[in-house]
Amino acid sequence: MPSSAQQHERLSKTAGIGAFGLDALSSVAYGPDEILYVLLLAGTAGVAFDLPIAAGIALLLAIVVLSYRQTIHAYPNGGGSFTVASRNLGRTPGLVAAGSLMVDYLTTVAVSVSAGVAALIAFVPAINPYRVVIDVVAILLLMVINLRGVREAGAAFILPTYVFVLSLAALLLIAAFRIATGNPPHQLHTIPSATEGLSVFLVLRAFAGGCTAMTGVEAIANGVPAFEPPESQNAARTLTILACLLGALFLGVAVLGRSIGAVPTDQSNVIAQIGEATAPNSPLFYIVQISSAAILLLAANTSFNGFPRLAAVMSRDDYFPHQFSHRGLKLAYSNGIIVIGVLAIALVIVFGGNTHALIPLYAVGVFICFTLSQSGMVVHWLHSKEQRRHFKLAINAVGAVTTGAVAIIVASTKFLEGAWIVLLLVPLLALNFWAIHRHYAHARKQLASVPKRHRVGKQRVIVPIQDLNAASAAAVEYALSITTASRITAVHVRVDSDDPRDASLPERWKHWSPDVELRVITSPYRELISPVIAEIERCHREGDPTVTVVLPDILPRAWYQTVLHNQSELAFKLALLHHPGVVVTSVPFQLRE
């Protein structure tokens, strides 16, 4: 795609839900389960808190969405938490937010794909031994889809997204209608006996588990430039639609799960049990189950959109490698897509595709981002002269305090389960971002100093050769084109005294090119590079500040034959790359069939 097509690659609100909303929507399939997994430890007394916790999470969602709507309008160029925190709180908080968000994006891919595959295994238990392989294949498939371009990726996920939303909404409405008409779905389970006493810490653990439903909400604020004009308005409306869908479905699943006495297991989550109690073995039941598995699997797409955009914003500010700001042939940030895919594959392999082992790494980073972003917005409004700034400040202040408290709860309750890894990794990432920035600042300072031009004399050229052949002859011919014959030295390093070609080389060379000096250097330890470096240093001592080394480079017809050639040439390039006063150039010689 040409650069001029970038405007046509923007997302509509409908496609935006598919591109940025899958992570948030998919949490409906496991958020209520995570609450119950903890509360069931306290038996009936614990389960009594599931609806208050779900309501609290819905309220938290509303606060965060109101706060991020303001971020979208205040910072329409994207970047989300990194941009807001950097500009208002300072670079270090901004880099902490960026590190937290990157960890969250990475764990989102691993958790979503492993959860989706687990849902498939519930249908087909025979594929369980291939869990990790299926995880890896799924991540590779998502990478390929996203490398096709932002618009294509968003369009590819529209159908499964809305099938999931509409089918689950239909199931919940049927269950609600049956309750309203006096024919409620039957209870599937009795609440198991308590194994732990009810405590504040247990309730907080359940709340922290349910807060995984909040991940992905910030992705739209990070990707505002991906939307059709007016970008901010469309992004804000998309975020509102997403929040309404997420809140309604999350509360609906929690309420109906409570009414049927749902007890989630690895083989049957709360949604599956609602379907089994309301419409068992019906087409709707299977549509909900299949679309639920699909949406879990595809939820990683949010990260494939969010991570590359965040990396691009950071690279433009010199806090991430510059190649991450490059758009690929399909106008997608290809390097970011590939890197997060590869890292997610590694994470899935390390944790064996186990969703519950990955969950403790989840959601800690995102609430750190929420807190820093909302705190940054408070500072933004303090310095702003916009109308209604005091009202907007109050919204973001409530968001900062609320999400900060939740961040502490999530980190403390999940610390020993694995959250400590995130809390250790985020500062290390921030330090790494600073190191990248210092390197770019140092390089820019040196590159900005342009020396005065001075006339350079004839080039001093060294041509390392293995033998007199067509490739070495081409290298010498090139050397003759840039300097005189008297300034060229061909160097042959003799490592095998029994090779008859070595013995005859001086005579053959004198016959072929008598005006170009040939130096034959014996290497008793069979080492090729040191004798050439010694020759370069001799030239420096004789007054040549710059020496050009011309290497013959054999190019085979087929790419897979490359490994059969040029091993010594590659060693020369690597060795001479950092040697002062040396210019290395290759002269290709193409082999014919």
Residue 152 confidence (pLDDT) above 70: no
| DSSP structural state of residue 592 | P
**pLDDT the model gives residue 247:** 92
- Enumerate the H helices of 260-300 as residue ranges: 270-278, 283-298
Q: What is the pLDDT of residues 80-95, one digit of tens each?
A: 788 889 989 999 999 9
Q: Which two tokens stand for residue 483?
A: 């300097």
- Enumerate the H helices of 457-562 as residue ranges: 470-482, 500-512, 529-541
What is the spatial distance between Cα 77 and Cα 374, in angstroms, rounded to a whole number? 17
Q: What is the pLDDT of residues 413-423, one digit of tens each?
A: 778 777 788 88
Whole-angstrom distance between the N-terminal and C-terminal Cα of the chain? Answer: 35
Task: Work out the pLDDT band at 9, boundaries 50, 70, 90.
Answer: low
Residue 1 confidence (pLDDT) above 60: no
Q: For tokens 């691009």, name the residue.
A: 312
Higher pLDDT, 580 or 410: 580
**pLDDT the model gives residue 261:** 84
Task: Work out the pLDDT band at 325, boundaries 50, 70, 90.
Answer: confident
**Residues contacting residue 435 through CB under 8 Å, at least 6 positions apart:** none
Residue 154 confidence (pLDDT) above 60: no
- The phi, psi pair for 492, rounded to 5°, reads -115, 120
Q: Collapse the DSSP code of 494 into the 3-class scheme (helix H, G, I; strand E, B; otherwise coil) and give the result.
A: strand
Q: Please state the rounded mean pLDDT for residues 315-325.
A: 90
**pLDDT the model gives residue 412:** 85
**pLDDT the model gives residue 21:** 78
| Residue 592 and residue 558 in contact, taking contact as beta carbons nearer than 8 Å | no
- The phi, psi pair for 95, rounded to 5°, reads -70, -35
In sequence order, the β-bridge partners of residue 582 are: 547
| DSSP structural state of residue 518 | E
Task: Work out the pLDDT band at 550, boundaries 50, 70, 90.
Answer: very high
Task: Work out the pLDDT band at 352, boundaries 50, 70, 90.
Answer: confident
- CATH number at 460-590: 3.40.50.620
What is the spatial distance between Cα 50 and Cα 36, in angstroms, rounded to a whole number? 7
Q: For tokens 């609450």, name the residue.
A: 35
Q: What is the share, in percent, of the chain residues with pLDDT greater than 70?
A: 92
Q: Which two tokens stand for residue 398?
A: 């409530």
User: Could you count the other beta carbons within 10 Å of the beta carbon of residue 374?
Assistant: 28
Q: For tokens 């008793």, name the residue.
A: 524
Q: Among 222-226, 280-284, 562-566, name the most confident range.
A: 280-284
Residue 563 confidence (pLDDT) above 60: yes
**pLDDT the model gives residue 386:** 81
**pLDDT the model gives residue 78:** 66
Domains 12-174+187-441 and 460-590 share a fold: no
Distances (CA, A) of 297 to 146, 163, 203, 443: 14, 14, 29, 42
- The phi, psi pair for 155, rounded to 5°, reads -65, -35
- The phi, psi pair for 79, rounded to 5°, reads 100, -25
**pLDDT the model gives residue 472:** 93
Q: What is the share, in percent, of the chain residues with pLDDT greater than 90?
A: 28
| Residue 239 and residue 68 in contact, taking contact as beta carbons nearer than 8 Å | yes
What residue spans define the domains of the chain? 12-174+187-441, 460-590
Higher pLDDT, 297 or 505: 505
Residue 150 confidence (pLDDT) above 70: no
Q: Please state the rounded mean pLDDT for residues 180-199.
A: 77
Q: Please state the rounded mean pLDDT for residues 329-336.
A: 77
Residue 501 confidence (pLDDT) above 60: yes
What is the spatial distance between Cα 252 and Cα 265, in angstroms, rounded to a whole number? 19
| Residue 487 and residue 461 in contact, taking contact as beta carbons nearer than 8 Å | yes
What is the spatial distance between Cα 503 and Cα 293, in angstroms, rounded to a whole number? 72
**pLDDT the model gives residue 455:** 63
**pLDDT the model gives residue 517:** 93
| Residue 158 and residue 242 in contact, taking contact as beta carbons nearer than 8 Å | no
Q: Order the strands of the 488-494 sheet from edge to edge.
A: 517-522, 488-494, 460-464, 547-555, 582-590
**pLDDT the model gives residue 166:** 92
**What is the identity of the amino acid at 364?**
V
| Residue 337 and residue 309 in contact, taking contact as beta carbons nearer than 8 Å | no
Instruction: Indicate the CATH number of 12-174+187-441 among 3.90.1150.10, 1.10.10.10, 2.130.10.10, 1.20.1740.10.
Output: 1.20.1740.10
Q: Please state the rounded mean pLDDT for residues 501-520.
A: 90
What is the spatial distance between Cα 482 and Cα 478, in angstroms, rounded to a whole number? 7
What is the spatial distance between Cα 351 and Cα 90, in angstroms, rounded to a whole number? 35
Higher pLDDT, 466 or 454: 466
Task: Work out the pLDDT band at 3, boundaries 50, 70, 90.
Answer: low
Task: Tell me whether strands 517-522 and 488-494 are parallel, antiparallel or unpaired.
Answer: parallel
Residue 453 confidence (pLDDT) above 80: no
Q: Please state the rounded mean pLDDT for residues 553-557.
A: 87
What is the overall mean pLDDT for the chain? 85
**pLDDT the model gives residue 515:** 93
Q: Please state the rounded mean pLDDT for residues 457-473.
A: 90
Residue 456 confidence (pLDDT) above 70: no
**pLDDT the model gives residue 477:** 94
Residue 149 confidence (pLDDT) above 70: no
> For the ranges 281-285, 331-335, 457-461, 550-554, which has the lowest average pLDDT?
331-335
| Residue 82 and residue 219 in contact, taking contact as beta carbons nearer than 8 Å | no
Residue 262 confidence (pLDDT) above 70: yes
DSSP string, 186-211: PP--PPPPPSS---HHHHHHHHHHHG
pTM over 0.85, yes/no: no
Q: What is the pLDDT of residues 424-450, one digit of tens each?
A: 999 999 999 999 999 999 888 887 877
Q: Collapse the DSSP code of 484 into the 3-class scheme (helix H, G, I; strand E, B; otherwise coil) and give the result.
A: coil
What is the spatial distance between Cα 51 and Cα 265, in angstroms, rounded to a whole number? 19
User: Could you count the other beta carbons within 10 Å of the beta carbon of residue 150?
Assistant: 25
